[in-house]
């Protein structure tokens, strides 16, 4: 595998189809998490820039070249974006890796999903034309009613740093398919590929203002976007505390929000599993994929005690075999976490677990062969009590904690012993048992005999403190549509005759 040497593009804010310098001309450094070196910078938008971007989006909705398009016309833009992303696959994957730290082959896989996601929503945009006006049957012949599906308006999209371009696509593609105009605010920690999406939109001729991209700090750019009176909806993926702040701010304007927040997902493993190694690999993949920085990570391993010792022994052997290296190296399976702040946060979780009486079975330190970069060994923690922080809180790093159980009832209780409700997994040969757990799990996503696969066709989202609303599939398109009831009096020449006519008194 040959990975090209890529230079970080120096971009401005993407507003109204053009690159524009931020009003205050401030910029933020971009740090490669594998080397800790500054490799570029991005614009630091403020409220003034947000206002300009929102006005550009509103203007786009008023113009025929975007606001009056059919789904089929929008689908052409989405497919053009997909084709251009595919053309730049190697470049975008490399930019993602040096900005985010995930292994290159994972980043390349993300880019493939970006392409597929844009193409999928192009299909849904076309299909929307036939569903735009839908008749509703009434019990009265004197009225006719139909439902009209129309774009919700200007939407604010705030995305995280763990899947920079893919999470952007999860929101941008359905928003554009629905005919909305969007203002995207990616995480300031990983914005490079989201800005490159702006260049792609410019190259394919997406109408000005349909998509605007502002980068910057949350309190300087994100907060003004959430509270802007001319933004009709906010879609956010990120941390729970930030989600609470967004809900609070949006509530002041009774503004709808959809939130995909954190998780502390369980993976329950029974002693009748098909194959020990297969189960071990799913347990590792479910937690350590994306360097452990995934909201749906099945980071609580719940083992039936009859196989716990054998399972953990094999788990250790597999974990020790994981290649930790510069994420641009071939066959790297674990890169650095995103930033120094995240590195320190994860290490503190590990230290606290040890202080609370848990056992660090493996890992918990910087790999000895890597002197620079925010690397953390894949970490397995046992002797965990349900009162411990490591059991209750989202770590967002390569840390797996383990508990054992005897009965199904105990396993279900442990699995649901969390304030979160994003994902849950069960590994068992007994499909009736799997069905029981599928119904019992308090989560929005369930994996049976696997963990973490994600596709763009089914819905994605959680319950409890993991948020509400669904992304992906047809469900995501609904996030960006206004449902308007239109009722028509079927006999306009006939009086309604509720009141007495003055002329007949």
Residue 220 CA to residue 201 CA, distance in Å, equals 25
What's the Cα-to-Cα distance from 414 to each of 97, 264, 402, rounded to whole Å? Answer: 36, 12, 11
Residue 422 CA to residue 308 CA, distance in Å, equals 25
Residue 18 CA to residue 427 CA, distance in Å, equals 50
Nearest to 483 by CA among 60, 174, 131, 70: 131
Tell me which of 260, 317, 329, 410 is the catalytic residue.
260
Across 264-291, b (16+ Cβ under 10 Å) vs e yields: bbbbbbbeebeeeeebbbbbbbbbbbbb
- Verify whether residue 36 is a known catalytic residue: no
Strand partners, 18: 15
118: helix, strand or coil = helix
Q: Please provide the DSSP assignment of 5-36 as one string.
A: --PPP---EEETTEEE--TT--EEEEEETTTT
Please return the burial class of 30, using the count of CB atoms within 10 Å of its CB with bins 0-12, 13-18 and 19+: buried
Q: Show which residues are catalytic.
A: 260
């Amino acid at each position: 595998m040959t990975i090209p040497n890529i230079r970080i593009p120096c971009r401005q804010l993407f507003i109204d189809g053009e690159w524009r310098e931020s009003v205050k001309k401030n910029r933020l450094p971009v740090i490669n998490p594998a080397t800790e070196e500054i490799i570029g910078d991005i614009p630091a938008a403020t409220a003034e820039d947000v206002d300009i971007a929102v006005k550009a989006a509103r203007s786009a909705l008023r113009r025929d070249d975007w606001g009056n398009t059919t789904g089929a016309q929008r689908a052409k833009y989405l497919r053009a974006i997909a084709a251009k992303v595919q053309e730049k696959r190697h470049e975008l994957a490399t930019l993602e890796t040096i900005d985010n730290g995930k292994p290159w082959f994972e980043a390349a896989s993300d880019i493939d999903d970006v392409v597929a996601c844009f193409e999928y929503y192009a299909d849904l945009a076309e299909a929307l034309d036939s569903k735009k006006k839908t008749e509703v049957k009434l019990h009265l012949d004197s009225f006719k009613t139909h439902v009209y599906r129309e774009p919700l308006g200007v939407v604010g999209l705030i995305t995280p740093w763990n899947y920079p371009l893919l999470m952007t696509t999860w929101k941008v593609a359905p928003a554009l398919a629905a005919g909305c105009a969007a203002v995207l605010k990616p995480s300031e920690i990983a914005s490079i590929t989201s800005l490159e999406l702006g260049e792609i939109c410019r190259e394919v001729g997406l109408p000005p203002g349909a998509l605007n991209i502002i980068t910057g700090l949350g309190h300087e750019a994100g907060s003004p976007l959430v509270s802007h009176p001319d933004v009709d909806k906010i879609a956010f993926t990120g941390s729970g505390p930030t989600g609470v702040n967004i809900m609070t701010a949006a509530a002041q304007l009774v503004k709808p929000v959809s939130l995909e927040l954190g998780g502390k997902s369980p993976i329950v493993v029974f002693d009748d599993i098909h194959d020990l190694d297969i189960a071990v690999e799913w347990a590792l993949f479910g937690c350590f994929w994306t360097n452990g920085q995934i909201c749906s990570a099945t980071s609580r391993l719940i083992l039936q005690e009859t196989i716990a010792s054998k399972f953990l022994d094999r788990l250790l052997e597999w974990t020790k075999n994981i290649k930790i290296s510069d994420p641009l190296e071939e066959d790297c399976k674990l890169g650095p976490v995103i930033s120094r702040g995240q590195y320190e946060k994860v290490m503190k979780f590990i230290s606290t677990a040890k202080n609370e009486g848990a056992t660090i079975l493996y890992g918990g330190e910087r790999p000895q062969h890597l002197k620079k970069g925010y690397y953390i060994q894949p970490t397995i923690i046992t002797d965990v009590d349900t009162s411990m922080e490591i059991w209750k809180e989202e770590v967002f790093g390569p840390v797996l904690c383990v508990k054992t159980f005897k009965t199904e009832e105990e396993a279900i209780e442990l699995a649901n012993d969390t304030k979160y409700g994003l994902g849950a997994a069960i590994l068992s040969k007994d499909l009736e048992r799997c069905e029981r757990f599928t119904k019992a799990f308090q989560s929005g996503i369930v994996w049976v005999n696997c963990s973490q696969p994600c596709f763009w066709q089914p819905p994605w989202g959680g319950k409890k403190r993991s948020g509400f609303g669904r992304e992906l599939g047809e469900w995501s398109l609904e996030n960006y549509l206004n449902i308007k009831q239109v009722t028509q009096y079927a006999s306009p020449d006939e009086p309604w005759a509720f009141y007495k006519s003055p002329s007949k008194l």
